[in-house]
Amino acid sequence: MENEPEENLADSFEHWPNEPATRNDLRILATLVDRRFTSIDVQLQTMRVAMQEDLMNIKESFRMEMYKFAAAVIGTGVVIFSLTGFFSR
């Protein structure tokens, strides 16, 4: 049922290779093309939103990994300095 208007338009599109197109044929073709581009625009917008969400997730994940690495480096440095201070006495 959803595609019924498009099927009706496609059925009414009279294309004969040896005859020129009429205004009605061009109007029907323009309507079909417009509907397809509208569908594509909606899909692209959905993809754009999903990509932005993924980018935010990637940035947040990178920040968390950066903080973990910094904590590990600082912790290792503190341990090394404390051990060298302990053995140098």
- Interval 10-61: pLDDT, tens: 555 555 566 677 788 788 888 888 888 888 889 999 999 999 999 999 999 9
Structure confidence at residue 68 (pLDDT): 95
Quick check: pTM over 0.85? no
Query: Residue 32: which of 1, 18, 11, 47 has the closest Cα?
Result: 11
Cα 56 from Cα 46, distance rounded (Å): 16
Q: Coil, helix or strand for 83?
A: helix
Cα 18 from Cα 69, distance rounded (Å): 72
